[in-house]
A and B are shown apart, each in its own frame.
Chain A
Amino acid sequence: MMATATVERTVANSAGAPKRGVLGRVIDRLGGGFLQALLIVVALFWLMPTLGLLIVSIRGETFNNSSGWWTAFTQPAQLTLANYSDLLATGFTSSFWNTIAITVPATLLVIGIAAMAGYAFAWIEFPGRDAVFLVVVALLVVPIQIALIPIAKLYGSLNIFGSIPGVVLFHVAFGLPFAIFLLRNFFAGIPKELLEAARMDGAGEWKIFATVVFPLAKPAIASLGIFQFLWVWNDLLVALVFADTDNQPMTKALQSQMRQFGTNVDILAPGAFLSLIIPLVLFFAFQRYFVQGMMAGSVK
């Protein structure tokens, strides 16, 4: 393998102090300024759409209809919070609470159920364990479209079609393969001496799970939690099918406004911005765990 040769070279050279190649240093010196400028432009380019949304959301309706949001930089008088107060008067708040009522249980349930299953896959021996786990691995990429029609029928007969529990349950089921996969891999890395010592002490499996494994797995659970939270919070398709108007989360409420795009930017922009502010705060607070979760299995 390629790596073998590299390793030999590595060993041969590892004694010397790390130094950059002459050419590399020249490139660094010459290209440094240009590179900085280029990346600043790229960063601005990436920020601009979200910044535009923010500014549109705090500009008066008449300004939005007549000029570009960037003119607000030179005329700060355009800025107002009127759009937000108008939005809150439309009943958008109820869709905000629906989003919370869907996202929080869907996240907690996935963590609990997947942690139990992950523990069994990692630390309890049972016949067919590898085969069952392979099924979980296979389910990682199943598109949710496959379940929309059958589950709609199932919910119809269970009388939960359109309700929040129905939406939650769907998210839990489709969050499980990734969650089990992630936690099982983490649990399997816990030193087995820890578990055996606990078993020697006569602790039952539930006790070991709750007092030894679960606390140790906090980083993995944080990763999974932030991932599942964002996935459910940001979902549109499941809500579109399974949540009726009274129970709709923000994404669906916004989508129903899209049809009149152009005439109601003053509602859409603040709504979209409100819907992304909590994910953004969580993202900045927990980005380390977010990245780790992504590393451990990015399939969604």
Chain B
Amino acid sequence: MTDRSDGPQATRGDGKSAARGASPEPQPTTPPAKGAQGPTPRMALWFLLPALILLGAMVIYPIIFSIFRSFFDSAGDTFVGADNYTAIFTDASMLTTIRNNLIWVVIAPILVTTIGLIFAVLTERIKWATAFKLIVFMPMAVSLMASGVIFRLVYEQDPDKGVANAVITSVGDVFDSSQGYPGARPRENDAAPALENGAVVTRQPIQAGQPALLPLVGLKPDLLPADAVTAKAVTGPGVGGTVWLDFAPGGGGAVGKIDDNEKGMPGVTVEAVQQGAVKGTTTTAADGSFTFAGLPAGDYVMRLPQSNFTASFGGVSWLGPTLITPAIIGAFIWVWAGFAMVLIAAGLAAIPRDALEAARIDGATEWQVFRKITVPLLSPVLVVVFVTMIINTLKVFDLVFVIAPGSVQPQANVIALEMWRVSFGGGGNQGLGSALSIFLLVLVLPFMIINIRRFRREQQ
């Protein structure tokens, strides 16, 4: 396992199947035999020249330039020392940006690697593994820009449009069927109930045998639930009343009176209040009527609490300031899980079956086999996937830029995006932009060193 010389990021220890083809067991280069026909070093220069010019002028020179530029102000003519770097670590919005990158780096690589591992292990046991892998792997070919459009659609707030909220609200409705009446309100006249802090309250106290009338308006009749029937006044003893929509479709009907073609409002919570204390709670029936059973005699004010008039659960605000980063990480997982799965599956295929069988015959459970044999043998691949994902999360730009709506971008910001914003996207401060790009380079530096070390080790 140690004598192979795969590349820094290539899957090591995964055996032949992973490396066959594109990276054919790369051997340490053996210099060609020296002789009359042997190529001269000058020849090498000709072969290397275009690459060296491009890399020198467009990758190496910019690194040096950026280091210098980061010590100057936005105009580029005043030396400001480390001011740009201080700004990165003191400015409040910058700190949010760094915090977001931290969330990304801590959460996304672990999730992607874990999900990739689970998929790779599970697909080993199904016949249509190739089809499954193609489906999960497909987002790799899709641009992050298009992925962003895709997830803007998925995360649309309106459950009638965004599939994420459509699923969540339909699941939610199964558990909570209560119907709100957003917008319903009493009329504005002295006979109608009053509005107090969002709750609807009768102006006069009610006694037993005196049905309370609670007419409401402001709601389209077709928004009433399907089980609503014609409103009915309560007769008989006890404290009770009717909550109904005081609106007769097609006109007619008297204000504040229960007319024949007016419907009750079912499911409204009603409280009986005496001297500020709630003495009883009930719910209206399909005809809007309600009665309080076993309430002692006395004066009661009927109150319909505010909860009746707030909208029913309208889905999660994925693209709001709180959930925006987890939402974008969700899109990131959608894009990258296939990558992790394919690399890990290749590593898995290279594990000698016999080793697993031997352990099983020795009485190891599947879980023990997985933990004690599969995962350790896979660890080189897992590390490669994990490290690649860390580098990717440090550089994440497109998904945040495209998915986060403009108003939420400050809360979703990441370093790579902030670098573009301050230098090109209206910020106009290339000194700070250079400092941010150097900061980004410093963050990937450890992985650069790991790559070089691993490569040198393998060359020996």
Q: Which residues of A contact B (CB under 8 A)?
A: 1-3, 6-7, 9-10, 12-14, 18-24, 27-28, 31-32, 35-36, 38-39, 42-43, 46-50, 52-53, 56, 64, 66-70, 113-114, 116-117, 119-127, 129-130, 132, 134-143, 145-154, 169-170, 172-174, 176-177, 180-182, 185-186, 188-189, 192, 195-196, 199-200, 202, 205, 209, 219-220, 223, 230, 233-237, 240-241, 251, 254-255, 258-259, 261, 265, 268-269, 272-273, 275-276, 279-280, 282-284, 287-299
**Closest Cβ–Cβ distance, residue A98 to chain B (whole Å):** 14
Is B189 in contact with chain A by the CB < 8 A criterion?
A: no
The residues of A that contact B66 with a CB separation of less than 8 Å are 146-147, 149-150
* Residues of chain B having any CB pair with chain A under 8 Å: 1, 5-11, 13, 18-35, 37-39, 41, 43-45, 47-48, 50-52, 54-55, 57-63, 65-66, 69, 119, 122-123, 125-126, 131-132, 134-154, 160-163, 166, 334, 339, 342-343, 346, 352-355, 357-361, 365-366, 373, 376-377, 384, 388, 391, 394-395, 397-398, 401-402, 405-406, 416, 419-420, 423-424, 430, 433-434, 436-438, 440-441, 444, 447-448, 451-452, 455-456, 459
Given A147-B58, A148-B437, A236-B398, A21-B146 contact (CB < 8 Å): no
B24 touches A297 (CB 8 A): no
Q: Is the CB of B58 within 8 A of A140?
A: no
Contact B126 A36 (CB under 8 A): yes
* Cβ contact of B69, chosen from A67, A141, A150, cutoff 8 A: A150
Q: Are A299 and B388 in contact (CB under 8 A)?
A: yes
Closest to A50 in B: B150
A205 close to B150 (CB less than 8 A): no
Main secondary structure of the interface of A (DSSP, over half): helix
Q: Is the CB of A46 within 8 A of B139?
A: yes
Q: Considering the complex of A and B, which 8 residue pairs feature the smallest CB-CB distances, nearest first?
A: A21-B360, A234-B143, A292-B22, A173-B58, A283-B141, A126-B41, A296-B23, A120-B47
In the bound complex, do residue A3 and residue B1 qualify as a contact, i.e. CB atoms below 8 Å apart? yes
Nearest CB in chain B: distance from A281 CB, A: 9
Given contacts A43-B136, A259-B406, A292-B22, contact A49 B143 (CB under 8 A): no
**Chain A minimum-CB-distance residue to B162:** A68
In the complex, the answer to whether A3 meets B65 with C-beta atoms within 8 Å is: no
Residues of B within 8 Å of A149, CB to CB, are 62, 65-66, 69, 423, 430, 433-434, 437
B126 touching A39 by the CB < 8 A rule? Answer: yes
Extra contacts besides A1-B1, A141-B451 (6): CB < 8 Å = A23-B360, A35-B125, A116-B50, A148-B433, A202-B37, A298-B384
Contacts of A142 in B (CB 8 A): 59, 63, 441, 444, 448
Q: CA–CA, A28 to B125, complex, Å?
A: 8
B145 A134 Cβ-Cβ under 8 A: no
Q: Please name the residue on chain B nearest to A18 by beta carbon.
A: B353
| Nearest opposing residue in chain B for A32, CB measure | B125
Q: How far is the CA of A92 from the CA of B51 in the complex (A)?
A: 34
Q: Complex formed: what's the CA distance from A9 to B357 in Å? A: 10
A46 engages B339 (CB within 8 Å): no
The CB with the most chain B CB atoms within 10 A, among A1, A149, A288, is that of A149
Known: A6-B373, A148-B424. A283 touches B140 (CB 8 A): yes
CB pair B29 A150 closer than 8 Å:
no
CA distance A269 to B152 in the complex (A): 11
Task: Report yes or no: A200 in contact with B37, Cβ–Cβ below 8 A.
Answer: yes
Find out whether the CB atom of A188 lies under 8 angstroms from the CB atom of B29: yes
How many Å lie between the Cα of A27 and that of B367 in the bound state? Answer: 11
Do B395 and A143 touch across chains, with their CB atoms under 8 A apart? yes
Q: Which residues of A contact B1 (CB under 8 A)?
A: 1, 3
State in angstroms the CA–CA spacing of A292 and B69 once bound together: 40
Q: How far is the CA of A140 from the CA of B132 in the complex (A)?
A: 31
Decide if B361 touches A21 in the complex (CB within 8 Å).
yes
Question: Bound complex: CA of A139 vs CA of B365, how far in Å?
Answer: 45
Cross-chain pairs A/B with CB under 8 angstroms, 13 sampled: A2-B376, A43-B131, A68-B161, A130-B459, A134-B452, A137-B8, A141-B391, A149-B65, A150-B62, A152-B424, A189-B23, A234-B142, A258-B148
B437 touching A13 by the CB < 8 A rule?
A: no
Residue of B nearest to A185 (CB): B26
Docked-complex contact B8 and A176, CB < 8 angstroms: no
Contact between chains at A13 and B160 (CB < 8 Å):
no
Closest to A26 in B: B366
Cβ B23 vs Cβ A147 within 8 A: no
Q: Is the CB of B41 within 8 A of A251?
A: no
Chain B residues, CB < 8 A from A32: 125
User: Cα distance A39–B66 when bound, in Å?
Assistant: 48
Contact A125 B32 (CB under 8 A): yes
Q: Is the CB of A173 within 8 A of B136?
A: no
- Check B360–A143 contact: CB distance below 8 A: no
User: Given known contacts A39-B123, A272-B150, is B451 in contact with A137 (CB within 8 Å)?
Assistant: yes
CB pair A254–B145 under 8 Å, yes or no, is yes
Residue of B10, B33, B57 ringed by the most chain A CB atoms within 10 A? B10
CB neighbours of A237 from chain B (8 A): 397-398, 420
B391 proximity list for chain A (CB < 8 A): 141, 299
* Distance of A182 from chain B, by nearest CB (Å): 7
B437 A297 Cβ-Cβ under 8 A: no
Rounded to whole Å, the gap between the CB of B381 and the closest CB of chain A is 10
Q: How far is the CA of A219 from the CA of B19 in the complex (A)?
A: 12
CB nearest neighbor in A for B403: A258
CB atoms of A297 and B146 under 8 A apart: no
Q: Which of B24, B334, B441 contacts A143 (CB 8 A)?
A: B441
Q: Report the Cα distance A217→B401, complex, angstroms.
A: 38
Cross-chain contact of A295 among B11, B148, B354 (Cβ < 8 A): B11
Alpha-carbon gap, A64 to B152, bound state (A): 14
Question: B145 to A234, Cβ gap below 8 A?
Answer: yes
- Closest residue on chain B to residue A152 by CB atoms: B424
Nearest neighbor of A284 in chain B, beta-carbon distance:
B134
Closest chain A CB from B304 CB (angstroms): 31
Q: Which of A47, A192, A223, A294 contacts B343 (CB 8 A)?
A: A294
